Structure 1
Amino acid sequence: MADLASNLASSLSKKLGSLVSQELSLAWDVQSDLHKLENTISILKIVLLDAEDKQAKNPMLRIWLGRLKNMFYVAEDVLDEIEYEALRKQAITTYGSAMEKVCHFFCSFMALSSRLKLAHKIKDIRERLDEINVEKVQFNLTERHEEVHVNPLWREKTHSFIDPSTVIGRHGDKEEIKKSLMHPNPTRNLNIIAIVGLGGMGKTTLAKAVYNDESVVNHFQLRMWVCVSENFNVTRLVEEILKSAGGRVDKNSSNEDTLQTSLRELLKDERFLLVLDDVWNENRNKWTELRDLLNGGSHGSVIVVTTRSRKVSSVLDPIYTHSVEGLSKEECLSLFVKCAFKEGEDKLYPNLLPIADEIVKKCKGVPLAVKSLGGLLYSKVDESEWELVRGNEIWELEENEGGILPALQLSYNQLPIHLKRCFAYCVNFPKDHEIWNIDLIEQWVAHGLILQMSANKKQELEDIGDLYIKELMSICFFQDLDEQHIFRMYSFKMHDLVHDLVLSIGHEEWLEIDSENKDVASTVRHLSISSSDQQVSKFSNKLTNVRSIMYQNEPHVSSVEACISRFKSLRVLAIPDSDFENLPSSIATQFANLAAWWM
Structure 2
Amino acid sequence: MADPVSGLAASLLQKLGSLVYQEFCLAWGIQSDLQKLESTISDININELLDAEYKQASNPMLRNWLGRLKVVLSDAEDVIDEIEYKVFRKQAIRAYGSTSSKVRHFFSSSMALSSRLKLSHKIKDIRERLDAINAGKDQFNFTERHEDVHVMPVWREMTHSGVESLVIGRQGDKKKIIEPMMEANKNVNIITIVGIGGLGKTTLAKLVYNDEVVVNHFQLKMWVCISTDFKVTELMEKILKSACKGVDKNSSTEDTLQTSLKELLKDKKFLLVLDDVWNVNRNKWVELIDLLNGGSHGSVVVVTTRSHKISSILDPIYTHSLDGLSKIESLSLFVKWAFKEGEDKRHPNLLSIADEIVEKCKGVPLAVKSLGGLLYSKVDEREWNLVRDNNIWELEENEGGILPALRLSYNQIPIHLKRCLVYCVNFPKDHEFFNIRLIGQWVAHGLILRMPVNKTQDLEDVGDLYIKELMSRCFFQDFEEQELGLYSFKMHDLVHDLVLSIAHKEWLEIDSNNKKIAPTVRHLSISYNGLQVLKSLNKLTSVRTIMYRTKPHVFSVESCIKKFKSLRVLDIHNSDFKNLPSSIGTQKHLRYLDLSNTSLMKLPNSICKLHNLQTLMLGGCVNLERLSKDIRNLINLRLLTITTKDTCLLENGVCCFNSLRSLFVAYCLRLECLFPQMDRCLTNLRILVFVGCESLISLPPIIKHLTSLESLYINYCNEMDLTGGGEDAQDFNLRLQILEIEGLPKVEVLPEWLLGSTNTLKELYIKWCGNLKALPEWLPTLKSLQTLVITDCDELSSVPEGINHMKTLRKLMIKHCAQLVTRLEDWSNIPEFEVLGCINVEDEEVS
Q: TM-score range by the shorter chain?
A: over 0.9
Match of 1:281, SS state, is: coil
Change (3 A) 1:85 1:217: same
TM normalised by structure 2 equals 0.67
Q: 1:126 deviation in Å? A: 1.4
Separation in 1 of the partners of 2:459 and 2:17?
21
Q: Which residue does 1:450 correspond to in 2?
A: 448
Post-superposition CA distance 1:399-443 (Å, at most 9, x none): 231121111111111111111111111111111111101111111
Change (3 A) 1:413 1:581: farther
Letter in 1 for 2:48: V
Q: Which residue does 2:489 correspond to in 1?
A: 492
2:510 and 2:526 in contact (8 A); partners too: yes
Q: 1:14 deviation in Å? A: 2.2
1:2 and 1:65 in contact (8 A); partners too: no
Q: Which residue does 2:370 correspond to in 1?
A: 372
Separation in 2 of the partners of 1:549 and 1:358?
45
Q: Which residue does 1:169 correspond to in 2?
A: 169
Change (3 A) 1:2 1:167: closer
Separation in 2 of the partners of 1:285 and 1:357?
47
State how 1:119-518 maps to structure 2 within 5 Å. 119-158=120-159, 161-164=161-164, 167-184=167-184, 186=185, 188-484=186-482, 486-518=483-515
Does 1:75 pair with 2:95?
A: no
Letter in 2 for 1:452: R
The answer to which structure, 1 or 2, has the higher relative contact order (CA under 8 A, 6+ apart) is: 1
Q: 1:94 deviation in Å? A: 6.2
Post-superposition CA distance 1:105-161 (Å, at most 9, x none): 665514655543433322222122112112211111012344343532222333x74
2:512 and 2:533 in contact (8 A); partners too: no
Letter in 2 for 1:582: K
Post-superposition CA distance 1:326-346 (Å, at most 9, x none): 111111000000111111110
Post-superposition CA distance 1:540-583 (Å, at most 9, x none): 43322221222223434443343333222111122333232333
Letter in 2 for 1:210: V
Change (3 A) 1:574 1:105: closer
TM normalised by structure 1 equals 0.93
Q: Which residue does 1:598 correspond to in 2?
A: 617
Separation in 2 of the partners of 1:382 and 1:148?
20
Match of 1:224, SS state, is: strand
Separation in 1 of the partners of 2:65 and 2:315?
52
Change (3 A) 1:372 1:293: same
Change (3 A) 1:133 1:234: same
Q: 1:178 deviation in Å? A: 1.0
Separation in 1 of the partners of 2:89 and 2:520?
30
Post-superposition CA distance 1:22-58 (Å, at most 9, x none): 6555565655554443223112223111111222222
Letter in 2 for 1:510: W
2:506 and 2:523 in contact (8 A); partners too: yes
Post-superposition CA distance 1:152-202 (Å, at most 9, x none): 2222333x7442475111111111111111112x4x432111110000000
Match of 1:299, SS state, is: coil
Q: Which residue does 1:6 correspond to in 2?
A: 6
Change (3 A) 1:132 1:161: farther
2:163 and 2:203 in contact (8 A); partners too: no
Separation in 2 of the partners of 1:209 and 1:105?
64
2:426 and 2:523 in contact (8 A); partners too: yes
Letter in 2 for 1:278: D
Q: Which residue does 1:588 correspond to in 2?
A: 608
1:427 and 1:502 in contact (8 A); partners too: yes
Higher helix share: 1
Match of 2:304, SS state, is: strand
Separation in 2 of the partners of 1:515 and 1:99?
44
Letter in 2 for 1:593: N
2:2 and 2:419 in contact (8 A); partners too: no
Q: Which stretch of the first structure deviates more once superposed, 473-482 or 9-18?
A: 9-18
Separation in 1 of the partners of 2:557 and 2:86?
25
Match of 2:539, SS state, is: coil
Change (3 A) 1:228 1:271: same
User: Which of 536, 540, 565 is residue 543 of structure 1 equivalent to?
Assistant: 540
1:512 and 1:530 in contact (8 A); partners too: yes
Q: Which residue does 2:556 correspond to in 1?
A: 559
Q: Which runs of 5+ in 1 are unaligned?
A: none
2:174 and 2:204 in contact (8 A); partners too: yes
Letter in 1 for 2:542: N
State how 1:30-69 maps to structure 2 within 5 Å. 33-44=33-44, 45-69=46-70
Q: Which residue does 1:87 correspond to in 2?
A: 88
Change (3 A) 1:68 1:309: same
Separation in 2 of the partners of 1:276 and 1:98?
56
2:28 and 2:112 in contact (8 A); partners too: no
Q: 1:535 deviation in Å? A: 5.7
Rg: which structure is higher?
A: 2
Change (3 A) 1:399 1:291: same
1:4 and 1:417 in contact (8 A); partners too: yes
Q: 1:594 deviation in Å? A: 4.3
Q: Which residue does 1:579 correspond to in 2?
A: 599
Match of 2:488, SS state, is: strand
Separation in 2 of the partners of 1:94 and 1:171?
65
Match of 1:327, SS state, is: coil
Q: Which residue does 2:779 correspond to in 1?
A: none
Post-superposition CA distance 1:463-512 (Å, at most 9, x none): 2211111111111111111212x332011111110111121122211111
Q: Which stretch of the first structure deviates more once superposed, 372-381 or 99-108?
A: 99-108
2:529 and 2:553 in contact (8 A); partners too: no
Separation in 1 of the partners of 2:615 and 2:286?
44
Letter in 2 for 1:506: A
Separation in 1 of the partners of 2:96 and 2:294?
69
2:476 and 2:490 in contact (8 A); partners too: yes
1:536 and 1:559 in contact (8 A); partners too: no
Q: Which runs of 5+ in 2 are unaligned?
A: 574-596, 619-847
Separation in 1 of the partners of 2:511 and 2:471?
30
